[in-house]
A and B are shown apart, each in its own frame.
Chain A
């Protein structure tokens, strides 16, 4: 017969296993609409966005956040980089009757700013925009076929950090995007204040762009692992009443003019 202590341990281990499984379970957020190019024979680029359905901040959370802001003297976001682990799964279908090439670009926004490479163009001749946060790999897709891919959690974590570095940190997009910064534990904001990594904002909006030379359709969904307790994503996702969702309206970041 098993000893009582052993029985307790087994029951606790089982309960722990189930609890652990539940806390780290992913939530899938489907894009509100597919992105389509080439239907009219002329369009080669189209974009779409998915703003995550984040629940309202509670009074206790706001109070705690305000206290930390006062202590550190820097802005603390409601959704931090550690709260949500995101990945984006996508599928591009070539619905034309000819082989084609597609590129999928991913950009995004935290609760304050969005990163749009086109905003960095200064109007110079033959000027190329800076790179997107992720993607932009040419994909050859045969007529009638489809290709799938994933922007992984580590790529989106890096993308979220890049948005912070470009907007609050004053990095150039090239310096932020082309270097891996994942081990950065603090940055200095425009006011010269030190921002610890715990105060880095996380992505709350995913911006996807499809560039293709044929009639193609991009479908995507965001996979989120929500580490906040209670969870940040509203349990009804896009079916939630608007008054129960945090109003988030990131502004497009426009770089300051060169001196």
Chain B
């Protein structure tokens, strides 16, 4: 009984990753979906000189309109360490993002190659970057534009897919700060 209890998580993982039986078509659910992601983000250019790369977390939910096109709403958060001339020193800030996006997919076997893009709003948690002129006084919000792509792999369970994605983000009000983000995600389609 104890052994079975220890094996259960491994068996579940194998079941999820396992492919279908020979000759059986791969079925993937289509419709409402949600995704959770974990990755890293880094500012590039001038903004990159004043902040260090940090972890990024995201949630996405939406609807498959067609087999090749879906829409979604995104909530994400990044954490960075500020690297401004001291003082202050070793301070962290967060970027909160919310937006809507569209995704176009091209199936390649059990995988989907996709490109996506969207618009939204981003908020920075502190004014620590004001010292180096990236933020104006009192500025906390910026429009957000993002575009990227990735590869998604349909798991054995038709509800689940896993993917890897990358994105370029532009925050015009923050002195046109740009960042790149990479993430791994797990998708569940209802």
Contact = CB atoms under 8 A, between A and B. Distances in A.
Contact of B86 (A26, A148, A237): A148
Interface string A15-31: 00010011001111010
A221 B132 CA distance: 14
Contacts of A91: 86-87, 89
Given A25-B125, A26-B126, A28-B128, A14 B87 contact: no
A148 B125 CA distance: 24
B190 A1 contact: yes
Contacts of B130: 28, 30
Interface residues of A, number: 24
Contacts of B46: none
A148 B87 CA distance: 8
B86 A89 contact: yes
**For the complex, would chain A's binding face be called helix, strand, loop or mixed by DSSP majority?**
mixed
B127 A28 contact: yes
Contacts of B127: 27-28, 237
A235 interface: yes
B157 interface: no
A71 interface: no
B126 A221 contact: no
Contacts of A223: 88, 91
A89 B131 CA distance: 14
Contacts of A1: 190
A89 B89 contact: yes
Nearest to A29: B127
Given A26-B126, A27-B126, A28-B128, 17 more contacts: A1-B190, A14-B59, A18-B77, A21-B94, A21-B96, A25-B94, A27-B127, A28-B91, A28-B130, A91-B87, A219-B86, A223-B88, A235-B137, A235-B138, A237-B138, A239-B137, A239-B138
Interface of B: 59, 75, 77, 86-89, 91, 94, 96, 123, 125-128, 130-131, 137-138, 190
For the complex of A and B, the 9 pairs showing the least CB-CB separation, nearest first, are A89-B87, A239-B137, A235-B138, A236-B138, A25-B125, A236-B137, A89-B88, A221-B87, A91-B86
Interface of A: 1, 14, 18, 21-22, 25-28, 30, 89-91, 148, 219-221, 223, 235-240
13 contacts: A14-B59, A21-B96, A25-B126, A26-B126, A26-B128, A28-B88, A28-B128, A91-B86, A148-B87, A219-B87, A220-B87, A221-B131, A236-B137
